[in-house]
A and B are shown apart, each in its own frame.
Chain A
Amino acid sequence: MATLTLIQAVNDALRTAMKNDPNVLVFGEDVGPKGGVFLATEGLTKEFGEKRCFDTPLSEDGIVGAAIGMAVNGLKPVAEIQFQDFIFPAFDQIVSEAAKLRYRSGGQYTCPMVIRTPYGGGIRGGLYHSQSGEAYFCHTPGLKVVVPSTPHDAKGLLLASIQDPDPVLFLEPKALYRSVKGEVPEGNYTVDLSTLRTVREGKDVTVICYGAMVPVCERAAARAAERGIECHIVDLRTLYPLDEDGVLEAAKRTGRVVVVHEAPRFCGYGGEISALIAENIIEYIEAPIARVTGFDTPFPNTLEHHYMPDERRVLDAIEHVAAY
């Protein structure tokens, strides 16, 4: 087993999928010989040729629209959108086309495809290289939304997404691309979609998070433990369709819940988690559900460290719900 960074695990997953299935194609802006701006596709054009890993014109609508047509006609496209912030020209193709095609054609036409895109802050990218737009997409029946937080899961979830019969939006936490390392099995393996991962067991406070917030929550939990509060952390991994039973089970364990994401709060993903818990198991809940999120502002550049939830803010919330 090799020790890889998260971005290396993504690259390994793409290479594995391309080796296994000649219909898997990888494309987007600068993904060809350059290997992508983050090097997720490094070496793939050289290894598999420019018919299978290639640069496209600079058009997100075109990339996703063409991917749909390829998928409908038997290929397995893995399209890259360079930054999630740039995905909105393709919003129509994702939300109105890819996500609805199986339904609107009565199952006659389907588009199994993956759209990979780096999301989130932490690289001083300002308004347009930092956003977390998961809530827009989780509001879309027919689409799956996946977010890994470890190299192992990045590879296993990406391979599962490529093999999935439905369109998947694969959000990669760019802040973790090179900051986390972990053991990654060689060859093909999958991590089931719509299953969460228990990161840490604890009896006092349940922390629900995903993507780049997972290591932040782990650090906050370590500090909470020093103060005698044991956190139970779950990493959602697939945001939609959600492992609802897993979330409810984790919330019941402690009866005290903190939800963490870096996207803005209002109509954010955390609201859905809070409602899910409140609607189904309110009798188990001992304290108000706390959300630690980005602010309801655009994403700032210089002061991004104040915008993004950090371990201090998460710790404050953990202590607050623990003491309630």
Chain B
Amino acid sequence: MTSTAPRTVIQPDGAAKPRDVGLSDKELIHAYRTMLRVRAFDETCLKLQRSGRIGFSIPNRGVEATQVGAAAALKKTDWLFPSYRDFGMALYHGISAEAMMHNMYGDALDSAKGRQMPVHFSFTDPIRFFSISSPIGTHIVQAVGAAYAMQYRKEKHVVLASFGDGGTSSLGFHSGLNFAGVWKAPVIFLCQNNQWAISCPSEKQTASDGYAVKAEAYGMPGVLVDGNDLLAVHQAVSEAAERARKGGGPTLIEARTFRMGGHSTSDDPTKYVPKAMVAEWEKKDPVARFEKFLKKRKLWTEKQREQWYAEAMAEVDAASKAAQATPRPALETIFSDVYATLPAHLRRQGQQAFDIAKRHGEAEAGDGAFPL
């Protein structure tokens, strides 16, 4: 791939260069524990999927430092237009594992009311974590519109749009970067180059020398960063955010990383990812790398890790139990939220669905709320 070396902060011996990494000890530990929580969430979801309790999940292993490093550079007043592989961004900003687990189960407490597949999160609090769509790249240009609104109101907020290497081939990538360049919109485009778009490697995605270089054609800076180096990602996103807040416009950041798992729980990456590649990236594990840095700063011990990981597993386990105990959404949720107010034809169809369910003894408590 690219001839330029990606930017790094954490050195092979664990030292940070520069020494001032722009995060307090408290924030560093929070970032680290967030990565552990992503791993705990991932592992739990894999088990839940394999045992048939949830239908689907998206593994995050390998890309946690990119997610968390980027999230740590943002404020609660900024907006995230995430991809489906961004669990760490949500968890870092205080979205609870339980809220996420309700989505995995699609239950009555799911913020999306069980309408979407698992991992298609949507949250507004404590940060705007925009509703995730399955089609690739559509949110990239929407992020630019949201940023235009900030610019229009003269706010100092920014929008971060996150997508993968495959996303750079989409219509939304081109129109998004093009519009943002012309408007000088306060957006950070974070391309998480995990090297695989399901089974398609980067060389099938682009003939260019990596993805960061694409920025030039849109009139914005492009930065190539080591995506397994949490501090390097944080530094690059912080710089981009600062420039955007000052009216300096958008930035494209390519975070070079690697998806250690499959695209999803329905995918078997051993069929297409070369074993040597996995072994090579195993050595670059982003969590282990951050531990080395924390250890050097005397913020980490093996024992402490065990305790934090156990706490993360307990949190996710409790979340899963809570979701499992939650009933499915009421029948009326099929028909509500199509429009702000229920049109007559949907009222009729909803009544019909309720009558059929009732006749077959399938109506449950709560379904009787229909007609709205």
Instruction: Judge whether A301 is part of the interface by a CB distance below 8 angstroms.
Output: no
Complex CA gap A148/B72 in Å reads 50
Say if the beta carbon of A74 comes within 8 Å of chain B.
yes
Question: Assuming A57-B178, A109-B131, is B141 touching A166 (CB within 8 A)?
Answer: no
The yes or no answer to A136 lying at the interface (CB within 8 A) is no
Cα of A93 to Cα of B172 in the assembled complex, Å: 9
A216 interface residue per 8 A CB criterion? no
* Least CB separation from A55: chain B residue: B182
Complex contact A104–B141 (CB within 8 A): no
B202 in the interface (beta carbon within 8 A): no
Determine whether the beta carbon of B131 is less than 8 Å from that of A70: no
Q: Which residues of chain A are within 8 angstroms of B138 by Cβ–Cβ distance?
A: 65, 92-93, 96-97
**A106 near B113: Cβ-Cβ < 8 Å:** yes
Closest beta carbon of chain A to B333's beta carbon, Å: 8
Fill in one digit per residue for A56-86: 1 if any B CB lies within 8 Å of its CB, else 0.
1101011001111111111101000000000
Interface bracket on A: 35 or more
- The reply to whether A241 and B115 form a contact with Cβ atoms under 8 Å apart is no
* Cα separation A65 to B122 with both chains bound (whole Å): 18
Q: Which residues from B are CB-within-8-Å of A89?
A: 171
Within 8 A of B (CB), among A224-242: 241-242
List, in ascending order, chain A residues with CB within 8 A of B336's CB. 107
Shortest CB–CB separation between residue B257 and chain A, in angstroms? 26
Bound complex: CA of A100 vs CA of B337, how far in Å?
9
Q: A97-B133, A102-B338, A109-B130 are in contact. Are A73 and B150 (CB under 8 A)?
A: yes
- Give every chain B residue within 8 A of A106 (Cβ-Cβ): 110-113, 115, 122, 337
Q: At the interface, yes or no: A283 with Cβ under 8 Å from chain B? A: no
Cβ contact within 8 Å between A61 and B338: no
Given known contacts A106-B122, A109-B124, A244-B344, is B116 in contact with A65 (CB within 8 Å)?
Answer: no
Which chain A residue shows the least CB distance to B342?
A: A241
Q: Are B179 and A66 in contact (CB under 8 A)?
A: yes
Considering residues A68, A72, A100, which has the most beta carbons from chain B within 10 angstroms of its beta carbon?
A: A72
Q: B113's closest neighbor in chain A, by CB? A: A106
Cβ contacts under 8 Å, B131 to chain A: 101, 104-105, 108-109
Cross-chain contact A104 with B120 (CB below 8 angstroms): yes
Q: With a CB–CB cut-off of 8 A, which chain B residues contact A215?
A: none
Q: Which residues of A contact B116 (CB under 8 A)?
A: 104
Among B111, B130, B175, B344, point to the contact of A72 (Cβ < 8 A): B130
- Please indicate the chain A residues that have their CB under 8 angstroms from the CB of B147 in the complex: 69
Partner of B176, one of A56, A62, A102, A105: A62
Known: A104-B120, A109-B124. A59 touches B149 (CB 8 A): no
Contact call B338/A142, Cβ cutoff below 8 A: yes
| A141 to B130 Cα, complex, angstroms | 21
- Chain A residues, Cβ within 8 Å of B182: 57
Which of A72, A75, A142, A245 touches B142 (beta carbons < 8 Å)? A72
CB <8 Å contact, B339 and A166: yes
Across the interface, do B148 and A66 meet the contact criterion of CB distance under 8 Å? yes
Query: Once the chains are docked, how many angstroms separate the CA of A245 from the CA of B153?
Result: 43
Contact call A72/B146, Cβ cutoff below 8 A: yes
Assess the B141–A61 pair: CB atoms within 8 A. yes
Q: Is A190 an interface residue (CB 8 A)?
A: no
A194 at the interface (CB under 8 A from B): yes
Q: Is A103 within 8 A of B115, CB to CB?
A: yes
Interchain CB contact (< 8 A) of B145 among A65, A101, A141, A144? A65
Bound-state CA distance A105–B133 (Å) is: 10
Q: Is A69 a contact of B171 with CB atoms below 8 Å?
A: no
A69-B147, A73-B146, A96-B138 are contacts. A57–B130 as well, Cβ < 8 Å? no
Structural contact, B179 and A62, CB atoms closer than 8 A: yes
The CA-CA distance from A110 to B339 in the complex, in Å, is 10
8 Å CB contact of B143 from A69, A166, A244? A69
A104: B residues at CB distance < 8 A: 112, 115-116, 120, 122, 131, 133
Q: Which of B99-147 contact A (CB under 8 A)?
A: 110-113, 115-116, 120, 122-124, 130-131, 133, 135, 138, 140-147
Residues of B within 8 A of A241 (CB): 339, 343-346
> Known: A68-B142, A142-B339, A166-B339. Is A105-B171 also a contact (CB below 8 A)?
no
CA–CA, A132 to B292, complex, Å? 63
Q: How many angstroms from the CA of A92 to the CA of B79 in the assembled complex?
A: 23
B340 touches A166 (CB 8 A): yes
| B141 and A73 contacting across the interface, CB-CB below 8 Å | no
Q: Is A288 an interface residue (CB 8 A)?
A: no
Q: Which of B115, B142, B153, B344 has the most CB of A within 10 A?
A: B142
Within the complex, the shortest CB–CB distance from B137 to chain A, in Å, comes to: 9
> A200 interface residue, CB < 8 Å from B?
no
Q: Is A46 an interface position by the 8 A CB rule?
A: no
Instruction: Determine the distance from Cα of A223 to Cα of B122 in the docked complex, in whole angstroms.
Output: 58
**A226 CB, min distance to chain B CBs, angstroms:** 38
Q: Are B144 and A66 in contact (CB under 8 A)?
A: yes
Tell me the smallest distance from the CB of A93 to a CB of chain B, in Å.
6
Q: Cβ of A51 < 8 Å from any Cβ of B?
A: yes
Q: How long is the Cα–Cα vector from A104 to B131 in the complex, in angstroms?
A: 7
Do A108 and B343 have beta carbons less than 8 Å apart? no
Are A70 and B178 in touch, CB under 8 angstroms? no
Distance, CA A103 to CA B148, complexed state (A): 24
Contact between B343 and A59 (Cβ–Cβ < 8 Å)? no
Instruction: With A70-B146, A241-B343 as known contacts, state yes or no: A107 contacts B337, CB within 8 Å.
Output: yes
Decide if B172 touches A65 in the complex (CB within 8 Å).
yes
Within 8 Å by CB of B338, from A71, A73, A103, A105, lies A103
Whether A62 touches B115, Cβ cut-off 8 Å, given contacts A69-B142, A70-B146, A166-B339, is no
A165 CB–B CB distance under 8 Å? yes
Q: Is the CB of A73 within 8 A of B145?
A: yes
Measured CB to CB, the residues of A under 8 A from B are 25, 51, 56-57, 59, 61-62, 65-75, 77, 89, 92-93, 96-97, 100-110, 141-142, 144, 165-166, 194, 241-242, 244-245
Further 20 A-B residue pairs, CB within 8 A, beyond A69-B149, A72-B130, A77-B145 = A57-B175, A59-B175, A61-B175, A62-B179, A65-B141, A66-B144, A66-B145, A66-B175, A66-B179, A67-B145, A69-B145, A70-B149, A102-B338, A105-B112, A105-B131, A106-B111, A107-B336, A109-B130, A166-B339, A241-B344
A-B contact pairs, 18 of them (CB 8 A): A25-B152, A57-B175, A61-B172, A65-B175, A66-B145, A69-B146, A72-B142, A73-B79, A75-B152, A89-B171, A93-B141, A103-B337, A105-B111, A105-B131, A106-B113, A106-B122, A109-B124, A166-B340
